[in-house]
Chain A
């Protein structure tokens, strides 16, 4: 146990055109999370979001009526840091730097700034020049160059990846919050969708671009008795290696692996004493479908190169060995930079998910390099 809990969760609707400012989305989701925790804005004294979030902390405090905070932080790397936001909040509340931390992420990522479009790199870290100038100008392309090596090493095909998408869309089809609610697809539909990055990613391998906001409240475990629906943060981890690059993994010795996710898994399992077989349900960040395969192998849910049959055999289904992305994932529910998958993890532990797994003791939430294990208090 980390000594910290998630006390409350909140979100806006997930759409393609919210019709309101990102600050309003952040404020709506945050207020919902604070009230869900049974707290008032005055109780919040810490804030965490992503470095790329466009909402100013002081402006959010003014909206919410948070009077004074003692600590704030941001995590780099976009979705790489989705679970790291919670790890930071855990560090703050267990060290005494803060008592109750609001974690938030809100954007109009479809109606305003689309991540999936090529953007001229006017500013930003100089290392990007080594990639943008050769045509790696979208996240799909950044990751495809990594995933292709996995395909080549193990003979995985785009159709293999499509079986994950079909699973995610099946879960989304029964989730009223999901953009693809009541819209499942078949493997044929997947194979008929257009190439985004041939020969790796089709349209249905790519996460959505979404408008919306999600927030969480993290506090100390000792306060759990006074809260209505606390969820324990059993373990929290984050891992970064120097052979990585700013775009994706190009320089590790073997690109058919995901060393940072393996390091995150090692931290989570060592600190909790758990093993992969004790994880009842998983929420795995998938900006693109192949990532699920690499993460399944990195966490030891199956051996190297075995994720293709692991997925094809139905292990990710609601009655499978590892029900995965039960909200529909970032492909099926929405892309709120991975924070919505933490929220689904909280629901699975509370027993309030729409696609509920029975008797959840341990839910894994993986977001690229960072991860959490959640469980009952």
Chain B
């Protein structure tokens, strides 16, 4: 994981460093938002906290990520996860079962180190 210094999402990665998945929540109207942003687009509030996510969700969409024209590492399965709380996050499916067809599969968060950053990935719920 390589990231630009971004004060708006520091809380997300601080929680990830402790293997906690959190979702930004407006402290005034309770609307969840992801990716993080400084202002609530629903009510305009600048007050927010970080709600603990269940870590559960399902795969809303997915694809294999390979270099377009040279040999690559093992393909990464890129997933768009619909979290149980309702927001979507982009991540990767770890230990993906062979054969594709990952649509709508239930997944659960699993934290792993990625280039020095503790990062939320997901695995299929057995």
Instruction: Give A contacts to B, CB under 8 Å.
Output: 116-118, 126-127, 129-131, 133-138, 140-141, 144-146, 148-149, 152, 195-200, 242, 250-251, 255
Contact = CB atoms under 8 A, between A and B. Distances in A.
Contacts of A129: 2-4, 6
Contacts of A148: 61-63, 103
22 contacts: A117-B68, A126-B8, A126-B9, A129-B3, A130-B35, A133-B3, A135-B92, A136-B78, A141-B63, A145-B61, A145-B62, A145-B63, A145-B78, A149-B60, A149-B80, A152-B61, A152-B103, A198-B63, A198-B66, A200-B63, A242-B41, A255-B60
Interface in B81-114: 88, 90-92, 100, 103-104, 114
Contacts of B35: 127, 130
B91 A134 contact: yes
Interface band, chain B: 20 to 34
Interface in B7-35: 8-9, 35
A136, A144, A145, A146 pick with most chain B CB within 10 angstroms? A145
Contact of A255 (B8, B61, B63): B61
Interface of B: 1-4, 6, 8-9, 35, 41, 60-68, 75-76, 78, 80, 88, 90-92, 100, 103-104, 114, 119
Given A117-B68, A145-B80, A145-B90, A133 B63 contact: no
Given A135-B65, A145-B80, 13 more contacts: A117-B68, A118-B68, A129-B2, A129-B3, A129-B6, A136-B78, A141-B65, A197-B66, A198-B63, A198-B64, A198-B66, A198-B75, A199-B64
